[in-house]
């Protein structure tokens, strides 16, 4: 089944699928059927495909089934390449992007390679961009689901963004999420330098005059950034941490405590 070519671009007769550009289909070891990639298999099957167990492929130019490899062994194809990139460990083909195999992840990753634009963090057990050398380590941080779309991050074929707090999510999810949020969806820490924004809130509160009955009230708060408990002047929306100056805080008591300026007022 599936012994026919599939196209990434039918008009231009470019072989592949919606996920990858490649000149072959791979035979799933689990069910013996031919699919352009494991995502195409999983989309229509009630089980997942083990790509590394693949032993056979079909060239979509000559439709001959043969041992999996980078080139077609049929003489008429004249050693036609199945893709610019081929990994014999992952049985992975890609004809569009720059890909490398990480021996520590034991997976193919997007990028030019370890020591070129990525390094492998043994604690996090994942590949990080060289600019993230001083990142905050979180053990096995990619061995979890993206908090936004819930896809498993470690085997995802999408770019992953690591946050200052050490948590990770897909880059596309990060870009959509940060349009309306500035805190980590897992631990609620700020996603970057909020100095300018917090300074704007300082100016806003300084210009705001509370009603008389609320001026001497304070609230117990917990700062998400420095993780310390304290008190802040009563407000309906904004509460500044007295330790780190962050407004990324939460009220930990629903009722306000009245604090008076002098003992004569008791």
Q: CA dihedral in degrees (90, 93, 99, 101; nearest 10)?
A: 20
Q: Is the domain covering 195-265 a CATH 2.60.40.650 domain? A: no
Write the class of the CATH domain 99-177. alpha beta
Q: For 11-21, what is each residue's pLDDT tens digit?
A: 999 999 999 99
pLDDT-derived band at 91 (thresholds 50, 70, 90) equals: very high
Q: Which region among 22-36, 80-94, 106-120, 135-149 has the lowest average model confidence (pLDDT)?
A: 135-149
Single pTM value for the model: 0.70
Task: Show the tokens assigned to 39.
Answer: 């995502």
How confident is the model over 172-193, as pLDDT tens digits?
999 999 999 999 999 999 998 9
**Ranges of CATH 3.30.40 domains, the chain:** 99-177
Question: How many angstroms separate the CA atoms of 182 and 143, rounded?
Answer: 24
Confidence band (pLDDT; 50, 70, 90) for 262? Answer: very low
Residue 166 has pLDDT above 90, yes or no: no
- Is residue 256 scored above 90 in pLDDT? no
Residues forming CATH 2.20.28.10 domain(s) in the chain: 195-265
The distance in angstroms from the start CA to the end CA of the chain is 86
């Amino acid at each position: 089944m599936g012994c026919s070519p599939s196209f990434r671009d039918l008009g231009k007769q470019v072989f592949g699928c919606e996920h990858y550009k490649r000149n072959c289909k791979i035979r799933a070891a689990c069910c013996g059927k031919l699919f352009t990639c494991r995502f195409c298999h999983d989309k229509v099957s009630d089980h997942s495909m083990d790509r590394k167990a693949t032993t056979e492929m079909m060239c979509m130019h000559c439709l001959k089934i043969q041992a999996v490899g980078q080139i077609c062994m049929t003489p008429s194809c004249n050693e036609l390449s199945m893709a610019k990139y081929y990994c014999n460990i992952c049985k992975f083909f890609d004809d569009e992007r720059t890909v490398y195999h990480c021996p520590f992840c034991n997976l193919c990753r997007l990028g030019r390679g370890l020591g070129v634009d990525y390094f492998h963090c043994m604690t996090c057990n994942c590949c990080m961009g060289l600019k993230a050398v001083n990142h905050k380590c979180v053990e096995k941080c990619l061995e979890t689901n993206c908090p936004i779309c819930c896809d498993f991050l470690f085997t995802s074929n999408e770019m992953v963004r690591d946050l200052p707090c050490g948590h990770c999510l897909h880059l596309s999810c990060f870009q959509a999420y940060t349009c309306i949020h500035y805190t980590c969806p897992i631990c609620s820490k700020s996603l970057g330098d909020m100095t300018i924004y917090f300074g704007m809130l300082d100016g806003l509160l300084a210009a705001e005059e509370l009603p008389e009955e609320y001026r001497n009230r304070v609230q117990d708060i917990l700062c998400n950034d420095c993780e310390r408990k304290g008190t802040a002047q009563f407000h309906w929306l904004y509460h500044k941490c007295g330790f780190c100056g962050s407004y990324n805080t939460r009220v930990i008591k629903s009722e306000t405590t009245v604090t008076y300026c002098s003992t004569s007022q008791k």
